[in-house]
Amino acid sequence: MPTSSSPRRGAVSRGCLIALAAVILPVLLIGGCAASQYNGLVSKRAAVDAGWSQVENDYKRRADLIPQLVATVKGAANFEQETLTAVTEARNKATSINIDASDLEDPAKVEAYLKAQQELGSSLSRLIATVEAYPELRATASFQDLQSQLEGTENRIVTSREDYIRAVQAFNTAVRGFPAVIFAGMLGFEPLPQFKAEESDLEVPVVDFSKDK
Q: How far is CA 128 from the centre of its chain?
A: 27
Each residue's pLDDT tens digit, 41-87 = 889 999 999 999 999 999 999 999 999 988 888 877 677 888 889 99
Under the banding of pLDDT at 50, 70 and 90, the label for residue 211 is very low
- Mean predicted confidence (pLDDT) in 137-154: 85
DSSP secondary structure string, 39-56?
HHHHHHHHHHHHHHHHHH
pLDDT at 26: 58
Report the predicted TM-score, pTM, of the whole model to 2 decimal places.
0.75
As a whole number of angstroms, the distance between CA 164 and CA 158 comes to 10
Residue 24, CB-side half-sphere exposure with 13 Å CA sphere: 6
Under the banding of pLDDT at 50, 70 and 90, the label for residue 1 is very low
Q: How far is CA 72 from the centre of its chain?
A: 32
Whether the predicted pLDDT of 14 surpasses 90: no
Whether the predicted pLDDT of 164 surpasses 90: yes
- Mean predicted confidence (pLDDT) in 130-148: 83
> Are 205 and 121 contacting, i.e. CB atoms less than 8 angstroms apart?
yes
Each residue's pLDDT tens digit, 79-110 = 788 888 999 999 999 999 988 888 898 889 98
Whether the predicted pLDDT of 27 surpasses 80: no
pLDDT at 140: 84
As a whole number of angstroms, the distance between CA 113 and CA 55 comes to 11
Distances (CA, A) of 89 to 7, 82, 150, 177: 89, 11, 19, 44
**Greater model confidence, 163 or 79:** 163
Q: Using the 8-state DSSP alphabet, how is residue 140 labeled?
A: S
**Greater model confidence, 78 or 9:** 78
Q: What share of the chain is helix, strand, coil (3-state, %, to 5)?
A: 75, 0, 25
**Greater model confidence, 23 or 172:** 172
pLDDT at 36: 66
As a whole number of angstroms, the distance between CA 112 and CA 52 comes to 15
Sketch out the chain's domains with CATH numbers: 36-202 (1.20.1440.20)
pLDDT at 165: 93
- Mean predicted confidence (pLDDT) in 146-160: 90
